Amino acid sequence: MDDLVKKHCKPCEGGVAPYDAVQAKDMLRQLKGWIVEDGKLVKLYPFKNFYETMAFVNAHAWISHREDHHADLLVGYNKCRIEYSTHAVGGLSENDFICAAKSDALFSL
């Protein structure tokens, strides 16, 4: 995961094939608790309360802005589900795994 956290997302305008199942599985080995569901990289983060959930969501928004790669978030009182995919390629790319690693690093603070 440390290698992914140190990387930065690269602009993606399409024209590149998304990761296939083997590539995605290989990349998943670098992350903990993430799954591929319906072609998206997904994880559910638990929190103690709404304040902690929203603090994570706001910090996550800053990371997304800095990397210019944005996830779909489903936010509840004590949880946040993150879904990554690269729309320009119609599936998963390295950018999704980089941001997933950065999300995990944020959660561990």
Instruction: Give domain limits for the chain.
Output: 19-107
Among positive and negative, which fits the CA dihedral 81, 71, 96, 41? positive
Q: How far apart are CA 90 and CA 106, in angstroms?
A: 26
User: What spatial distance separates the first Cα and last Cα of the chain, rounded to whole Å?
Assistant: 15
Give the CA angle between residues 66, 48, 97 to the nearest 5°. Answer: 35
CATH node for 19-107: 3.30.1360.20
**63-104 confidence digits (pLDDT tens):** 999 999 999 999 999 999 999 999 999 999 999 999 999 999
**12-41 confidence digits (pLDDT tens):** 877 789 999 999 999 999 999 999 999 999
> What pTM does this model have?
0.93
Q: Using CB atoms within 10 Å of the CB of residue 23, give its burial: 0 to 12 exposed, 13 to 18 middle, 19+ buried.
A: middle
